[in-house]
Copies of this chain bind each other. A is one copy, B any other.
Amino acid sequence: ADRAAVEAVRRRDCELTKPPGSLGRLEHLVEWLAAWQGRSPPDVRSPLVAVFAANHGVAAKGVSAYPADVTLQMVANFAAGGAAINQICLAEDIGLKVLELAIEVPTPDITEEDAFDEVGLVATMAFGMEAIAGGTDLLCIGEMGIGNTTVAAAIYHALYGGEASDWIGRGTGVDDAGLARKRAAVAAAVARIGGERDGLEILRRVGGREIAAMAGVILAARHQRIPVIVDGFVATSAAAVLHAVDDHAIDHCLIGHLSAEPAHAAVLARLGKKPLLDLGMRLGEGTGAALAASIVRAAARTHAGMATFAGAGVSGPSGGTH
Contacts from A to B (Cβ < 8 Å): 16-26, 65-67, 69-70, 73-74, 76-77, 80-84, 86-88, 90-92, 172-173, 260, 276-283, 287, 291, 294-295, 297-298, 301-302, 304-307, 311-319
| Contact assessment for B172 and A86 in the assembled complex, using a CB-CB cutoff below 8 Å | no
Q: How far is the CA of A16 from the CA of B283 in the complex (A)?
A: 12
Partner of A19, one of B65, B69, B83: B65
Closest chain B residue to A292, Cβ basis: B295
Closest chain B CB from A25 CB (angstroms): 4
* A295→B316 contact, CB < 8 A: no
Beyond A19-B282, A77-B312, 10 extra complex contacts between A and B, CB < 8 Å:
A17-B77, A20-B173, A22-B283, A24-B282, A73-B315, A76-B312, A76-B313, A80-B307, A81-B307, A87-B306
Count of identical protomers in the assembly: 2
B302 touches A87 (CB 8 A): yes
A-B contact pairs, 10 of them (CB 8 A): A17-B84, A18-B283, A19-B173, A23-B281, A24-B260, A24-B279, A82-B307, A88-B302, A172-B317, A294-B294
Asked whether B25 lies within 8 Å of A281 as measured between CB atoms, the reply is yes
State the Cβ distance, A180 to closest chain B Cβ, in Å.
Answer: 17
Which of chain B's residues have a CB closer than 8 A to the CB of A313? 73, 76
Chain B, Cβ-Cβ closest to A305: B87
Shortest Cβ distance from A22 into B: residue:
B283
Q: Which residues of B contact A316 (CB under 8 A)?
A: 66
Find chain B residues with CB under 8 A from A311 CB. 82
Contact call A312/B87, Cβ cutoff below 8 A: no
Is there an interface contact between A22 and B91, defined as CB atoms closer than 8 Å? no
**Are the CB atoms of B73 and A302 closer together than 8 Å?**
no
Closest 7 CB pairs of A and B: A82-B307, A24-B280, A19-B172, A22-B283, A87-B302, A91-B298, A87-B305
A90, B301: Cα distance in complex, Å: 9
Q: A318 contacts B87, CB within 8 Å?
A: no
Closest to A67 in B: B319
- CB–CB B277/A277 < 8 A: yes
Chain B residues whose C-beta falls within 8 Å of the C-beta of A294 in the assembled complex: 92, 294-295, 298
- Closest chain B residue to A170, Cβ basis: B19
In the complex, chain B residues whose CB is within 8 Å of the CB of A314: 70, 73-74, 77
Task: Chain B residues near A312: list those with CB within 8 A.
Answer: 73, 76-77, 80, 82
In the complex the two chains form, is A84's CB within 8 Å of B18's CB?
yes
A82 to B15 CA separation, bound complex (whole angstroms): 12
Chain B residue at minimal CB-CB distance from A276:
B279
Contacts of A279 in B (CB 8 A): 24-26, 276, 295
A16 proximity list for chain B (CB < 8 A): 84
On whether the beta carbons of B88 and A298 are closer than 8 Å, the reply is: yes
**Across the two chains, which residue of chain B brings its CB closest to A174?**
B317
Residues of chain B lying within 8 A (CB to CB) of residue A172: 19, 22, 317
